[in-house]
Structure 1
Amino acid sequence: MGRRSVLLSLLGSILTACGAPKAEEGDGVVNEELLAAAARGDAGAVRDALRRGADVEARDDRRRTALLLAAAADHVEVAEVLVEAGADPDAQDADRATPWLVTGVTGSVAMLRALLPAGPDLTVRNRYGGVSLIPACERGHVDYIREVLKTGIDVNHVNDLGWTGLLEAVILGDGGPPYQEIVRLLVAAGADVDLADRDGVTPLSHALAKGQTEVAALLRAAGAR
């Protein structure tokens, strides 16, 4: 093995040992450098790797792109660099996550705004069949929901469990002030307050069963039955 090959092999071993994402076999060290830089939030190193020919859509062994790694860690500047370089906000990993879908999990408004210029597909679904709005409703990400509703995302999308964002907010929320505000936002955006789950149980019925008095009052005020 030549000296250059030995050095490249050593660098790959160091990146792996440090927990850096390892590119798929054959993608090259520069791609591994791109992935590692994106994961740690080093925008300068990301730019350098791209200048040296890294594939902006290179993937690690879990099928994660640099943009997905940046989105998951909320490295906004890195995401902006990658978006400018043409990174795909809809590239799915082995678990069907995408950079755009991850924003609904993290609730990062800054990352949402960084990805919008890339034209994300608002209908792309995660492994549970949900759009980015739904995990945000589950986790109580009020600011994110307020922002993502401006995009025209389907407020009544039903995931594979048979739940809308409204149902997720009621069933998985605690009925506290953040979830009350989410209900207000969803109702104002046109959420169907009577759209029931697979068992025919409505958001209002769930709220009453969980003792969410304030949420139930909001739903009744919106005409829920």
Structure 2
Amino acid sequence: MSSIRPLALAAALLLALPAAAQVPPTAAQAAAYQGLHAAAASGDSAKLKRLLAAGPDVEARDAYGRTALHVATFARKRDAIRLLAQAGASLNALENERYDAVTIAAVADDEDTLRLLLELGASSGQITSRYDGTALIAAAHLGHAGVVHQLIAAGAPLDHVNNLHWTALIESIVLGDGGPRHQATLKALLDAGASTTLADRQGNSPLQLARQRGYAAMVQMLESAGTKH
């Protein structure tokens, strides 16, 4: 099969993905928040403690399905995340676009917040987003190598296939730019033992996909890992 169709498909999907990605609260939405959501957005720990002492519904959601913990994660308010978790807030809840806190932190390349979430017991392997992906796939797509290392260490599924028929390793190639960040991401996945034989929907292997794009460094990495096809 010619490489033109897969390349065109990947390009079209790459353009479409941002529009379908997670949506953080706007400034106007954050300003309109009340109660737990307001305290989480501002990181006001004293106010949050007072509110939590009254036993509120820690799973209450805004119009976009975000809990206070989602809001605190978007805002990088780690003290608020810890307080909410201690009060029983779910670390694995999905908002309306089916993102959890771990994937929100992963997409934002927020290693400190991700580390805290994982330490508190958040799952590294939830199926998230309309693409039925994982935080690892999202991070690989974006070339967030540090996040990828954390998720691998936390036991994230290496070879989950999303509904685009891509793994994290494939996404590091087809949605990356072939540069240093995505090379580091690919290396982390290879070192962890991610499959180099799982193919995309058109039957293209990771090595074929790297060759099609002219990503010489990635081709060399895959070949050095023992990939033949």
- Shorter-chain TM band: 0.7 to 0.9
Superposition map of 1:199-214 within 5 A: 199-214=202-217
> Aligned match of 2:99 in 84, 97, 100?
97
**Higher radius of gyration, 1 or 2:** 1
Equivalent residue number for residue 63 of structure 2: 61
Root-mean-square deviation (CA, aligned residues, Å) is 1.8
For 1:1-225, list aligned pairs within 5 A.
19-20=29-30, 32-126=34-128, 127-224=130-227, 225=229
Give how far 1:68 is off: 0.7
1:67 Cα deviation from its structure 2 partner: 0.6
Distance 2:111 2:46 in 1: 23
Map of 1:6 onto structure 2: none
Aligned counterpart, 2:5: none
Q: CA deviation at 1:174?
A: 0.8
Gaps of 5+ in 1: 1-16, 24-31
String of CA shifts for 1:66-124, please: whole Å, max 9, x gaps: 11111122222211111122211111111111112212211222112221244223332
Asked if the contact 1:89/1:119 (under 8 Å) is kept, the reply is: yes
TM-superposed deviation, 1:177: 1.0
Q: Residue 118 of structure 2 contacts residue 154 of structure 2 at CA under 8 Å; is this kept in 1?
A: no
- TM-score between the two structures when normalised by the length of structure 2: 0.82
The alignment-based identity, stated in percent, is 37
Of 162-171 and 95-104, the range deviating more from structure 2: 95-104
Offset at residue 21 of structure 1 (A): 7.4
Structure number with greater CO (CA < 8 Å, separation at least 6) is: 2
CA distance in 2, matches of 1:141, 1:212: 18
Query: How many residues are matched?
Result: 201
How far residue 18 of structure 1 moved from its aligned partner, in angstroms, is: 5.1
- Give distance in 2, aligned partners of 1:129 and 1:144: 19
CA deviation digits over 1:140-190, x for unaligned, max 9? Answer: 111111111101111111111000001111001111111111111101111
**In the superposition, relative to structure 1, how do residues 211 and 118 fare at CA in structure 2: closer, same or farther (>3 Å)?**
same
